[in-house]
Amino acid sequence: MHRPSRWLWVLLAGCLGASAALADPPSFLQLQQDVPLKGDTSRFDYQSYDDQAGILYIAHMGTGQIILFNTQQGAVQAVLTGFPGVTGLLVVPELHRLFASVTGQHEVDIIDTQTLKTLARVPAGNFPDGIAYDPDLRQIFVSDEQGGEEVVIDAVKNKRLAYIKMEGEVGNTCYDPGSKRIFANVQSRNELVVLNPETHKVVLRYAVQGGKHPHGLCLDPGSRMAFIGCDGDQKLVVVDLDKFTEIGVSDVGKEPDVLAFDSQLGYLYVASEAGIVSIFRVRDRKLEKIGDFPVGSNAHSVAVDSKTHFVYFPLRKEGPGPVLRIMKPSN
């Protein structure tokens, strides 16, 4: 296992912008491994982790590939091809299925995680992106970012059930097990929208005040908080899921995108296009900012394993080609 020297971190921080590094990276976030990935140096997007099988699914958007990384072996297990412009991914272990937003074909592809065969291709609007799953109704909810709709798919029968008009450009989507509701950002309207998955209707629109253009979304059901990454002004907005009031606003890296939450340690990771990950500690329904840390160019996608606490960043180019950068908080 190779760990970078302190001077390498200093050089990297200088390249990404010294003002972004509020804490000394080796003191908190440490490199564990850089795993070379196949494919060209094009854009990666969302990831989804199957903690039962130990498989991390990575969308290599630019090459139309889905990479399967075996976290137990520390190696790439398989590379699936034929998914042009793949963005959102969501694995549902109980169904042995992986759902993939394939923007190049305006559809959601449904893949058997045991055979790795595509079971169905379901039309999903103009630009399908983020995906959420309702385990009670066994339905998939997909953000059609450019089409301004939420697409509902029967996850068992593999067929489209509904289009929900969102009246604006849709950001990421999450399921809240506490309220049994679907949450989605409508970024062009600066709203957090709540959907009833049974009726397929909008039941609440909350106007986000603390940030502009809400895109990234992550929930902590236990503390009843929503974390919203606003890429219009580099803000993280925290919303109380019960009262729908904002209980925190903080600066993050430029153009925040994907958020991930370590439910065991209570660490929230906000990854940005600028290559900065902003890290927060969640305690007693309050956020404490740990710092902004340089990770690598275009490190806008993040996934976390709450058991091992490893944090995963697919980077389009680090050295000769793309890598999966694996890091871990030092404590």
- Residue 8: phi and psi, rounded to 5, are -65, -40
Instruction: Give a yes or no: residue 88 inside a domain.
Output: yes
Look up the pTM and report it: 0.91
94-110 confidence digits (pLDDT tens): 999 999 999 999 999 99
Instruction: Give a yes or no: residue 52 inside a domain.
Output: yes
Instruction: Give a yes or no: residue 258 inside a domain.
Output: yes
| pLDDT for res 18 | 35
| pLDDT for res 180 | 98
| pLDDT for res 27 | 65
Segments of 51-137 assigned E as strands: 55-60, 65-70, 75-80, 86-92, 97-102, 107-112, 118-123, 128-134
Alpha-carbon distance 256 to 31, whole Å? 21
Structural domain range at position 187 = 42-308
Residue with the two structure tokens 């019960």 = 242
| pLDDT for res 277 | 97
Q: What are the structure tokens assigned to 230, written together?
A: 């606003």
CATH number of the domain to which 119 belongs: 2.130.10.10
Instruction: Give a yes or no: residue 185 inside a domain.
Output: yes
128-161 confidence digits (pLDDT tens): 999 999 999 999 999 999 999 999 999 999 999 9
Full pLDDT tens readout for the chain, 331 residues: 433 333 333 333 344 333 333 444 456 889 999 999 988 999 999 999 999 999 999 999 999 999 999 999 999 999 999 999 999 999 999 999 999 999 999 999 999 999 999 999 999 999 999 999 999 999 999 999 999 999 999 999 999 999 999 999 999 999 999 999 999 999 999 999 999 999 999 999 999 999 999 999 999 999 999 999 999 999 999 999 999 999 999 999 999 999 999 999 999 999 999 999 999 999 988 899 999 999 998 899 999 999 999 999 999 999 889 999 999 998 7
| pLDDT for res 6 | 36
| pLDDT for res 28 | 86
Number of structural domains found in the chain:
1
| pLDDT for res 20 | 36
Q: What are the structure tokens assigned to 186, written together?
A: 């409508």
Q: Rounded to 10 degrees, what is the CA torsion of 184, 185, 189, 195?
A: 10
Instruction: Give a yes or no: residue 57 inside a domain.
Output: yes
Instruction: Give a yes or no: residue 206 inside a domain.
Output: yes
CA distances in angstroms from 85 to 26, 45, 81, 105, 195, listed in the order given = 35, 9, 11, 8, 27
Instruction: Return the number of other C-beta atoms located less than 10 Å from residue 119's C-beta.
Output: 13
Instruction: Give a yes or no: residue 21 inside a domain.
Output: no
| pLDDT for res 195 | 98
Alpha-carbon distance 190 to 202, whole Å? 15
Instruction: Give a yes or no: residue 36 inside a domain.
Output: no
- Residue 283: phi and psi, rounded to 5, are -145, 135
Sheet containing 256-262, strands listed edge to edge, beginning at the edge strand earlier in sequence: 256-262, 267-272, 276-283, 286-294
